[in-house]
């Protein structure tokens, strides 16, 4: 499993626009082949900063999504809303502690 985290900083007046884009896209992303889980997190102190947390079957699944028409459509709506360049990274679960 591949865990993908993308941290995004939006223009303050574009937060609601982003939430609308995410709500329109979330089910399509979650149902994309290889996507196992999807969450949207909001920074505790800075409400214009969000992070997506998604779990993918493997690298190929994430790459297929990143090169899909769905990603291109979502990205085209999301990109103009950024205040800063997003930061993305991939992980694997190394150790789970607790429940």
For 46, phi and psi rounded to 5 degrees? Answer: -120, 95
Lookup: tokens for 36 = 């196992």
pTM (predicted TM-score): 0.92
In this model, does residue 99 exceed pLDDT 90? no
| 76-81-84 Cα angle (round to 5) | 110
Instruction: Indicate the class that CATH gives domain 2-91.
Output: alpha beta
- Over the stretch 11-62, which tens digit does the pLDDT of each residue have? 999 999 999 999 999 999 999 999 999 999 999 999 999 999 999 999 999 9
The domain segmentation of the chain, as residue ranges, is 2-91
- Over the stretch 75-91, which tens digit does the pLDDT of each residue have? 999 999 999 999 999 99
Per-residue pLDDT at 33: 97
Lookup: tokens for 23 = 């709500």
Of 71, 15, 67, 5, nearest to 37 (Cα)? Answer: 5
- Collect all residues with Cβ–Cβ distance below 8 Å to 17 and sequence separation of at least 6: 81
Q: How far apart are CA 77 and CA 86, in angstroms?
A: 14
């Amino acid at each position: 499993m591949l865990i993908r985290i993308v941290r995004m900083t939006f223009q303050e007046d574009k937060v609601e626009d982003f939430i609308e884009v995410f709500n329109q896209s979330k089910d399509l992303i979650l149902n994309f082949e290889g996507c196992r889980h999807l969450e949207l997190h909001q920074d505790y102190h800075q409400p214009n900063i969000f992070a997506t947390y998604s779990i993918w079957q493997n690298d190929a699944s994430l790459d297929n999504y990143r090169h899909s028409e769905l990603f291109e459509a979502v990205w085209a709506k999301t990109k103009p809303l950024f205040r800063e360049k997003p930061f993305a990274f991939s992980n694997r679960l190394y150790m789970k502690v607790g429940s």
